[in-house]
Amino acid sequence: MSRRRSQSEMAVSLFPFLAVLVCAMGSLILLLLIITRNVHPSYQTRQEDPVEVAETPLLVAGESVSAEQLTLPETGFAPAEIGTARWKSWQPAATKGQTDAPGYDIDLHADATTRMRRQTQFQQQTQRDEKLAMLKNQLLQAQQRREELQQQRQQLQTSMNSSQMSLQQTRQQQMNLAQQLQELQQTAPQLAQEIKRLTTLLEQKKNQQKPVSNEYEIVALDRKSGQVHAPIFVECRKQKIKVQPELLEVDSVQLTDYSPTKNPLAIAILEHWKRGPYAAEQPYVLLIVSPDGIEEFYTMSQLLIANDIHYGYELIDPDQTFFFGTPNQTLSQQMQQDFALALETQPRHQRELAVVEVPTRAGQQSNNYESIMDS
């Protein structure tokens, strides 16, 4: 009974002490909070942990790195700063009329070590931002390069497809040509025999064919009636005047010693016309003029006009020949005799060049005759 009473007395005596102790601890805690609010935590003697900088992996050339793969180290705060932040967020709002304690600026009130550490962290953060921007730029360039390479690959694929199609077409053409060559080789003996037969036949035709003359025949037609007439053909060559067909050949110098009127050649032509089938018609002479017989052409035109003999002319090439008909020896001898007789009977005198208008080809054909050359 005495022991139970002593224990109760002891318990009752400890209560005031515990109450005082709790009050003292609460006061100390409140005082500590007030001190930590107004005093910088860097005064506390503690060893700061070194800041670890995460190593950024190097970007290999040609390797694309996304922004999500870049891991940056988290910015750490000192435990004292965290405590201050908690105290600021915990403390109640100042009542109206209560004066605030002076504010704390870490850049102004912090010690040199803290400012240096913050400056180092800021520089590192700036470098990390610059490197991140550079990596993003490299990533963008790599993506653009990849798109260009994809376009080039598509173009190469298209070109390769076209080349393959062309190759297939070329192979098909080669196969077709090979097949055609094989067919030609099979038909080559038959073609050779056919060529040989045709060559022999051509030689036979050439041997049987008569030589073709390159001479032309001049045919005179009456414009009104369309009948064929036989004029007297006279060739005007260089220093030569030939009455065709092979009737008479005269040097042009012989004619210059006589007057155009009653010229020996004109007399021989008129006598020859009277013996022909068209003696009742007006005489007609067709002059065949080569480029080197222009003077002879003018001489003949003067004497024909002077003797009232109608004429026409045809210009030819120097080496061009004509078929004037089959020569008649009797007519040739008679005309030569008439010309020789006229040379003896007609007086010679110095030639007087009379101005005689030589008609153009259109004018000289007003006698209703035209010449046609037939080969």
Q: Does residue 361 fall inside a structural domain?
A: yes
The pLDDT, as a whole number, for residue 161 is: 92
The pLDDT, as a whole number, for residue 374 is: 47
> Degrees (nearest 5) of the Cα angle 167, 172, 175?
125
Q: What is the rounded distance in angstroms from the CA atom of residue 310 to the CA atom of residue 305?
A: 7
Average pLDDT of 356-373? Answer: 43
Q: Does residue 35 fall inside a structural domain?
A: no
Which residues span the domain enclosing 261?
Answer: 216-374
Residues 6+ apart with CB under 8 A from 4: none
Task: Evaluate whether 38 touches 101 at the Cβ level (below 8 Å).
Answer: yes
Residues 6+ apart with CB under 8 A from 49: 76
Q: Does residue 5 fall inside a structural domain?
A: no
The CA-to-CA distance between both ends of the chain, in Å, stands at 180
Q: Please state the pTM of the whole predicted model.
A: 0.40
Write down the residue that tokens 């076209």 correspond to. Answer: 162
Q: Does residue 343 fall inside a structural domain?
A: yes
- Please write the tens of the pLDDT for every residue from 264-295: 888 898 888 888 877 788 888 889 999 888 89
Can you spell out the DSSP letters for 323-341? Answer: E-----HHHHHHHHHHHHH
Quick one: which of 104, 79, 370, 91 has its CA closest to 231?
370
Under DSSP, the state recorded for 259 is -
Return phi, psi of residue 93, to 5°: -65, 145
Q: Does residue 292 fall inside a structural domain?
A: yes
- Please write the tens of the pLDDT for every residue from 96-117: 444 555 566 666 767 788 888 8
Q: In this model, does residue 145 exceed pLDDT 80?
A: yes
Q: Does residue 332 fall inside a structural domain?
A: yes
- Please write the tens of the pLDDT for every residue from 226-275: 566 678 899 998 888 998 888 888 888 888 888 888 888 888 988 888 88
Structure tokens at 109: 């009130």
Q: How many domains does the chain have?
A: 1
The pLDDT, as a whole number, for residue 39 is: 61
Q: In what order do the strands lie in the sheet with 284-289?
A: 248-251, 240-244, 232-237, 284-289, 310-315
- Report which of residues 189 and 224 the model is more confident about: 189
Torsion from C-alpha of 92, 98, 104, 108, nearest 10 degrees: 160
Q: In this model, does residue 195 exceed pLDDT 80?
A: yes
Lowest mean pLDDT among 78-87, 121-130, 146-155, 286-295: 78-87
- Report which of residues 181 and 360 the model is more confident about: 181
Structure tokens at 145: 């390069």
Lowest mean pLDDT among 131-145, 208-222, 283-297: 208-222
Q: Does residue 337 fall inside a structural domain?
A: yes
pLDDT band at 351 (very low <50, low <70, confident <90, very high): very low
Q: What is the rounded distance in angstroms from the CA atom of residue 148 to the CA atom of residue 277?
A: 103
Under DSSP, the state recorded for 236 is E
Q: In this model, does residue 306 exceed pLDDT 80?
A: yes
Q: Does residue 159 fall inside a structural domain?
A: no
> Degrees (nearest 5) of the Cα angle 347, 265, 277?
135
